Amino acid sequence: MTRRSRRTYVAVAMCVAALGAIIALVVVLSQNIQYFRTVSEAVAHRQDTSQFRMAGAVVNGSIVSTRTGVDFRVTDGKATAAVVQHGDPPQLFKDGAPVVCEGHWGAGGKFVSDRILIKHGADYQPPAVKQPTATTR
Amino acid sequence: MKATLGIFALAVGASCAGVGIFVLVMGLVTHDERQLVVGRRFLFGVLAAAAVAAGAMEWALVTHDYSLKYVAENNARATPLLFTVSGLWAALEGSILLWALVLGGYLAFMAHRFRARAADPLVAWANVVGLTVALFFFALMLGPANPFRRLSTAPPDGRGPNALLQNHPLMAFHPPLLYMGLVGFTVPFAFAIGALVTGRFGEGWLEDTRRSTLFAWGCLSVGIILGAWWSYEVLGWGGFWAWDPVENAALLPWLTATAFLHSVIVQERRGMLRVWNLSLVLSTFCLTILATFLTRSGVLNSVHSFTTSGIGPWLLVFLAIVAAIGVGLIAWRGDRLRAPGRIDAPISRESAFLVNNLLFAGLAFVVLLGTVYPLLAEAFQGHQLSVGEPYFNRMATPLGIALLFFMAVAPALPWRATSAAVLRRRLLVPAYAGGATMLIAVALGTRSVTALLAFGLAAFAVAGVVRQFGAGVLARRRAEREQWTRVLPRTVASNPRLYGGLVVHLGVVCIALALASFGTFTAKRDVTLARGQSATVSGYRVTYLGSTNHKGSQDTTIKARVDVHHGGSDLGVYAPAIKIFPNTAEGIGTPSVRTGWLRDVYLTVVSSPNQRGPVTIGVRINAMVLWLWVGGGVIALGTAIALGPRLRRTIRRPVERVLPPPVEPQPSEEPEAVPV
């Protein structure tokens, strides 16, 4: 093989490898995107059954412990959604707590959540319900 | 008074930088060497000014001077001294001040190290670049990130630092080390720009900045590991790395800098990859600025919140200018950057380095994309979204395995070309070791392909390093007839860069082992227990003994007492806790960790016990996490070795000879042991 044709092969192989890597990147990225919605935005996208994060505050007196976790409602002041949580809620889950629920819309118009994050206030002020974004694990 | 002193120092620092730039540029334009020599002195001025400003801030912190806004927000009378001092880097303004102080340190080091070459245009341009970066940070502090803002009325007590930051002494060491790493890349960046401007992009600037780059890289590595350790010991979610943007921000420059440390060797040996090296230095520096932007501008919470600090646009504009100048200079010099050498064979040291670099660059791109994608999506589409951890894990794992493979193989490959015989001699034993390890792991029940590959390659790499050390030591012993106790340190000193690098590789192996085991063998379960009840998680029996409430001055701590048994032996009582601050919804869990060589028992309070009720305890049996921290230590050791001076010749025992031999025989080394 001449030097020139070998270089062509190498170049083609590298292009193919790069293309494959980019496709893998885009596919894996698109599979792992989670939208972040407030309760009212989430309610507006009820037909969407993909996984996303929903932010709101726990409605006072709505927490009911179940065998598999807790049921409760969250609100952002404009809309309210019922949440079915599978698994234990985090340490400071209580009435009024600002939460981010990770899950999807399930049967009966209820949000099926498998993880609750309590909003992490950067400066420890009483948190605003509006747009909790940063989260603790 | 302290505020006045601080502002004054900042103003002096900014003027020093500004006047220094002016003098140096004038000197460069008029070819006046005296001005270049005078201009160099301003680098010391920057350090002095930053030190006085930081000193004023520390003074205010230690004396609890709440007339300063920063002190009132990040200190309280009850704050312990360690966290009072570390209050300097507890928030945005102070950490920019720390950044300026560290930068001043590096600039002063540069000025001192190259004092004999102050009139050299390359050094003078590097000084100009360093001063420009310093000027930018002083301007930040005089503008949007002023740490010395005053309050009209001083409150009687301050708010205290963020509770997470005063929970563990590691917080006092992790940020300064990280900054010493990030800021240190200013030195190679300054010299790279100097090389481009002067057109002297041979190998000189690489040799000049080798130690600075390596030192910064070591600090950054250890800083990242300490950050992971802090996360593991304090945050209580059981892991140490979550691909959080703040973590990624520090990892990104580390990846490009690691690539640079390797590709530099190719340029030094073969004169290749010049453009690539300049690009890596440039991107490393840009990524450190991006790191500051990501972690310090508030942009991560939301694009919309980044106006709150006002520093974001400044950093973005600076980043854009740096990138534009760098790319422009490389394009301008493009025709003269052609490499004199080329890669001769596909299986050679240089092509292994090339692949290693592509992998590191690919990994950096993957991490960068995942980190900034949410920002781009919000800025351009208005959607708030997050990129899940599985993206990072799935993309990084194959790249990491490939990097591990090249790390194991590359040091054994000769430069230019190789023969099957050489490969067999150097790689057969390590390959057997790797294969045997994989077989043993399968026999012991490991089924995860990733873990098997990681274990096999780890053994391969360790065997390779041991073989290389052994070959070096034996060759030296044969040639020099030294005692066994002295031959190892002398072998290392004969080529600290090679052997230090190999030690760093051992540290990386430790970390790879820890990551693979942690991902494969960790068991976790949340158990809800009434007092006196127990549960068993993968062989560990945990019994809830009861809980205590402790009211402190600022918080209430609830401690659960948990007894842990394993196999018939009592491992003692552990006390995971949760701290609740009265005026916040936030509680901070403090995990209780029993550290072991192979397994950690990691206990957290998941939901707090209400009066006599049951408690939910998170039990995690984490595999081999200790090896992450061990790996960090080994990396630090390897870096220290590589920074050491090279022993050029051995000092021989005085031998009485009438005539000294005309030519001192060179210490013979195994051919592969010559500089990597």
Question: In sequence order, which residues have a C-beta less than 8 Å from that of residue B85 and are 6 or more positions away?
Answer: B58, B61, B62, B172
Contact list, B387 vs chain A (CB under 8 Å): 29, 32-34
Q: Is B355 a domain residue?
A: no
Average pLDDT for residues B205-214, to the nearest whole number?
A: 90
Flag whether residue B448 sits within 8 Å of chain A, measured between CB atoms: no
Q: Which of B161, B177, B193 is the last residue of a domain?
A: B161
**Chain A residues whose beta carbon lies within 8 Å of the beta carbon of residue B384:** 35-37, 133
- Partner A contacted by B373 (CB < 8 A): yes
| Residue of A7, A28, A104 best to disrupt the B interface, most CBs of B under 10 A | A28
pLDDT digits (tens, 9 = 90+) for B440-467: 999 988 889 999 999 999 999 999 999 9
B668 vs B144: CA distance, rounded Å: 60
| pLDDT reported for residue B329 | 93
Question: Does residue B184 surpass a pLDDT of 50?
Answer: yes
Q: Does B301 touch chain A (CB under 8 A)?
A: yes
Is the pLDDT reported for residue A1 higher than 60? Answer: no
Q: For chain A, give the DSSP string.
A: --HHHHHHHHHHHHHHHHHHHHHHHHHHHHHTEEEEEEHHHHHHTTT--S-EEEEEEEPTT--EE-SSEEEEEEE-SS-EEEEEEES---TT--TT-EEEEEEEE-GGG-EEEEEEEEB--TT-PPPPSS----B--
3-class state of residue B387 by DSSP? strand
d(CA A31, CA B370): 12
Q: According to the model, what pLDDT value does residue B584 have?
A: 53
Q: Which of B301, B302, B390 lies at the smallest CB-CB distance from A32? A: B390
Instruction: Find the mean pLDDT for residues B23-47.
Output: 94
Q: Do residues B247 and B227 make contact, with C-beta atoms less than 8 angstroms apart?
A: yes
Chain B positions in Cβ-Cβ contact with residue A137 (cut-off 8 Å): 235, 237, 242
Phi-psi region of B532 (alpha: psi -120 to 50; beta: other; left: phi over 0): left
Question: How large a percentage of chain B has pLDDT more than 90?
Answer: 55
**Interface contact A88, partner B, CB < 8 A:** yes
Instruction: Please provide the DSSP assignment of B337-383 as one string.
Output: G--S-----SSSHHHHHHHHHHHHHHHHHHHHHHHHHHHHHHHHH--
pLDDT of B666 over the 50 cut: no
Size of interface A-B (CB pairs under 8 A): 99
Domain termination site, one of B161, B189, B209: B161
Residue B184: partners with Cβ closer than 8 Å, 6 or more residues away: B102, B106, B212, B213, B215, B216, B217, B219, B220
Nearest residue in B to A23, CA atom: B395
Q: Which residues of B touch A118 (CB under 8 A)?
A: 585-586
Q: Residue B84 domain-assigned?
A: yes
> Which of A94, A131, A137 faces B302 most closely, judged by CB atoms?
A131
Domain count, chain B: 2
Residue B386 Cα, gap to closest chain A Cα (Å): 5
The beta-carbon neighbor of A36 closest among B237, B362, B384 is B384
Chain A residues near residue B578 by CB distance under 8 angstroms: 91
Task: Say yes or no: B557 contacts chain A, CB-CB below 8 A.
Answer: no
Contact A76, A129 (CB under 8 A): yes
**Would B2 be classed as within a structural domain?**
yes
Locate tokens 């040639």: which residue?
B479
Number of residues in chain A: 137
Of B237, B578, B585, the CB nearest to A98: B585
Q: How far is CA A6 from CA A12, A14, B346, B355, B566, in A?
A: 10, 12, 11, 18, 61
With helix as H, strand as E and coil as C, how does B156-221 read? CCCCCCCHHHHCCHHHHCHHHHHHHHHHHCHHHHHHHHHHHHHCCCCCHHHHHHHHHHHHHHHHHH
**What is the residue-averaged pLDDT of chain B?**
87
B238 has a pLDDT exceeding 50 = yes
Res B671 pLDDT > 50: no
The pLDDT-based confidence of B101 (bands split at 50, 70, 90) is very high
Confidence check: pLDDT of B30 > 80: yes
Q: Residue B43 sits in which domain range? A: 1-161
Quick check: is B62 in a domain?
A: yes
Confidence of residue B150 (pLDDT cuts 50, 70, 90): very high
Among B148, B283, B127, smallest CA distance to B208 is for B127
The whole-number pLDDT of residue B667 equals: 44
> Is the model more confident about B485 or about B500?
B500
Which chain A residues are closer than 8 Å to B301 by Cβ? 122, 133-134
User: Of B112, B143, B161, which residue is a domain's last?
Assistant: B161
**B99 domain-assigned:** yes
Q: Poorest-confidence range of A4-8, A16-20, B90-94?
A: A4-8
What is the identity of the amino acid at B271?
G
List, as one string, the DSSP characters of B396-418: HHHHHHHHHHHHHHGGGSPSS--
Q: Does B385 touch chain A (CB under 8 A)?
A: yes
In chain A, residues with a C-beta closer than 8 Å to the C-beta of B305 are 133
The CA distance from B294 to B36, in Å, is 36
Structure tokens at B283: 């991107």
Average the pLDDT over B375-386 and give the result. 84
pLDDT of residue A122: 39
Whether B100 maps to a domain, the answer reads yes
Q: Which of these ranges, A111-125, B270-284, B296-310, B363-377, has the smallest mean pLDDT?
A: B296-310
User: For B386, which of A21, A53, A121 is closest by C-beta distance?
Assistant: A53
Is the pLDDT at B662 greater than 50? The verdict is no
Choose the mutation target among A1, A7, A91 for the interface with B, i.e. most B CBs under 10 Å.
A91
What is residue B644's DSSP assignment? Answer: S
For residues B385 and A31, give the distance between their C-alpha atoms in angstroms, rounded to a whole number: 13
Predicted local confidence at residue B333, as pLDDT: 87
pLDDT at B668 over 50: no
> In this predicted structure, what is the pLDDT of residue B651?
52
Compare all CA atoms of chain B with the CA of A91 and give the residue at the minimum distance.
B607
Name the band, by pLDDT with cuts 50, 70 and 90, for residue A137.
Answer: very low
**Whether A46 contacts A106, CB under 8 Å:** no
Q: pTM for the complete prediction? A: 0.89
Position B567 in a domain: yes
Q: For residue B609, what is the domain's CATH number?
A: 2.60.98
pLDDT at A124 over 60: no
Distance CA A114, CA B40 (A): 60
Any A CB within 8 A of B366 CB = yes
Structure tokens at B199: 């057109």
For residue B652, what pLDDT band results from cuts at 50, 70 and 90?
A: low
Q: Give the pLDDT band of residue A118 (cuts 50, 70, 90).
A: confident
In a domain, B555, yes or no: yes
Percent of chain B with pLDDT over 70: 91
Indicate the pLDDT class of residue B384, thresholds 50, 70 and 90. Answer: confident
Distances (CA, A) of A10 to A13, A17, B616: 5, 10, 58
A-chain residues within 8 Å CB-CB of B385?
33-36
CA distance B445 to chain A (A): 30
More confident residue, B137 or B524: B137
Q: Compute the distance between CA of residue A93 and CA of residue B96 in angstroms, rounded to an integer.
A: 36
For chain B, state the CA radius of gyration: 27
